[in-house]
Amino acid sequence: MNSENDAAAGLQLLVGLEVSAVSFVRDFVELHFNGPVLRALSDPLGIHEGREWHFPAPGSLDLMRCYIGKTVDGCEEDPERILALHFGEHRFVIPLDEGSSLGPESAHLIGVDESGRTSPLGGMWIW
């Protein structure tokens, strides 16, 4: 597990990667990047093609699937508020504030090992 100090560096690893899958797992959402996985433990929100969405509101699942095939071109981290991935005009946000989180953690990023497989050995960042 990596320290808080390099959490932003972990997020930077996603820049230039394409979303290969969006997974809905019981009570959280994951973005997959052919290796790294970003897990949203608090309910994500965002903007896709000018339409705002907030999971699990009606229509949010359809809009989140639209991120598949999109490439991350930027990211931002405000440790008290949000993590955000930018895809041109589109944005995927994970709230980090205490009121949004259902537990002590709001997001996980799992890196890849030497073989390119998803593994905490390649780094794990927790917000």
74's tokens: 């930027």
125 CB neighbour count, 10 Å cutoff: 24
Structure tokens at 89: 């005009």
Residue 117, pLDDT score: 84
Q: Tokens 């002590």 appear where?
A: 104
Whether the predicted pLDDT of 108 surpasses 90: yes
Q: What is the pTM of this model?
A: 0.90
Structural domain for 33, as ranges: 4-126
Q: What does the pLDDT look like over 14-70, one tens digit per residue?
A: 999 999 999 999 889 999 999 999 999 999 999 999 999 999 999 999 999 999 999
User: Band of the pLDDT at 9, cuts 50, 70, 90?
Assistant: confident
Q: Can you list the positions of beta strands (E) in 1-127?
A: 21-25, 28-32, 37-40, 45-48, 51-54, 74-78, 82-87, 90-95, 107-110, 124-126
Number of domains, the chain: 1
**According to the model, what pLDDT value does residue 5 have?**
46
